[in-house]
Copies of this chain bind each other. A is one copy, B any other.
Amino acid sequence: MSEKKVVSIKDIAALSGVSIATVSRIINKKGRYSKETEKKVMDIIESHGYVSNMAAKSLREAKSHTVGLIVPDISNDFFSTISLHVEKFFADAGYSVFICNSANDSEKEKAYFRTLDSKLVDGIICISGLQSLPSDLTPRNIPIVCIDRYPENDKNIPIVSSDDTMGSYLATEHLIKKDCKNILFIANFTADYNRKTRYHGYEKAMKDYNMDIKKQNIIYLSGDQPSYVESEVQISNMIQNGYEFDGIFASSDRAALGALYALKRHNIDVPNKVKIVGFDNSLYSQLPSPSISTISRNTTMLAENGSQVLLDMMEGKTIENHRIIVPINLIERESSK
């Protein structure tokens, strides 16, 4: 490994015959230097491949031009799409982003908050699995924005989310209008985060249309296995037990897919005998045959709005709206035709 000496601002100053203060001003375009010195210095910088030492700059400015992004699992496409847009947004704004996979593990997630804080990130954007966000998680008390899920907290953290309850309402209403009389609700497992919001939409739609909500129609997944597996098993069991139903609203596309597999396996026609709606507009609803109707959250807006709010906070602006709700909509596909 060739040991080229790394050039510092001091070297550039010496090489160009000016002071380091001048070089610093030129690098940061702060003015107070002549066109000639600027050119002279910039030439030296170019030819020596100087890049400034961000650790020194961060230390000095107590600001790192870096943000942290905490997601449960970046290999999940909902989270990875959000990550893509968050990273793009901040790259354009001159920030780098640390990626952290919490795996829905509370201790891990807390550790990430501390690590990010110690790395002097200027802000954190998180899709948190935590029940609450104690303020001592980040001693430096940096700006935080939540996306999608909202842990309790005592510092009025902004939240950008989609209206899940409305989404569930739309999905359920859609099935009702398609003449389904006995609609199952599959509640996906989501760790600490509560699954009530999506249930509420189902509940409200059922009530609004004067339909009975039967206990046995509510199916909870445990999270012990991939949700499509659990879902397939549970729906299969119901079919084998002779339980009849004609509509399924699953609070995740994967659970919806599991249900579809179960129905296919038992040769029950979808959508003619049973109609299905999922949640997320992921590949799990787009690709199967029949394709699965679903609720789409606007991931791009979720990511961009969240990033913008965080940037505003980092720049010291005051945030007027601490609850941003991003539109949600029903996508009709073959499974509920």
Q: Of all chain B residues, which has the CB nearest A3?
A: B141
- A51 x B84 contact (CB < 8 A): no
A198 nearest CB across to chain B (Å): 23
- A84 x B75 contact (CB < 8 A): yes
- B81 x A75 contact (CB < 8 A): yes
A52 nearest CB across to chain B (Å): 6
- Contact flag A101-B84 (CB < 8 Å), given A64-B55, A139-B6: yes
- B87 x A51 contact (CB < 8 A): no
- Contact flag A140-B99 (CB < 8 Å), given A118-B52, A287-B287: no
**A55 CB contact (under 8 Å) in B3, B4, B120, B289:** B120
- Contact flag A80-B75 (CB < 8 Å), given A55-B58, A283-B284: yes
- A7 x B88 contact (CB < 8 A): no
Determine the chain B residues whose CB is within 8 A of the CB of A287 once the complex forms. 257, 283-284, 287-288
Copies of this chain, complex-wide, total: 2
A9 nearest CB across to chain B (Å): 12
- B75 x A75 contact (CB < 8 A): no
A150 nearest CB across to chain B (Å): 19
A184 nearest CB across to chain B (Å): 22
- A80 x B91 contact (CB < 8 A): no
Size bracket of the A interface: 35 or more
A220, CB-defined interface residue at 8 Å: no
- A87 x B100 contact (CB < 8 A): yes
- A87 x B64 contact (CB < 8 A): no
Alpha-carbon separation in the docked complex, A78 to B327 (Å): 29
Alpha-carbon separation in the docked complex, A77 to B51 (Å): 33
Determine the chain B residues whose CB is within 8 A of the CB of A3 once the complex forms. 141
- B87 x A49 contact (CB < 8 A): no
A residues 215-250 near B (Cβ < 8 Å) are none
Alpha-carbon separation in the docked complex, A299 to B321 (Å): 42
Q: Of all chain B residues, which has the CB nearest A257?
A: B287
- B115 x A96 contact (CB < 8 A): yes
Listed residue (A52, A54, A140) with the most chain B CB atoms within 10 angstroms of its CB: A54
Q: Can you list 25 A-B contacts with CB-CB less than 8 angstroms, sorted by A residue number?
A: A3-B141, A4-B139, A6-B140, A49-B136, A49-B139, A53-B59, A53-B120, A54-B118, A54-B119, A55-B55, A55-B120, A66-B98, A69-B99, A74-B80, A75-B77, A75-B81, A75-B84, A80-B80, A83-B99, A96-B100, A96-B116, A97-B99, A99-B99, A283-B287, A287-B288
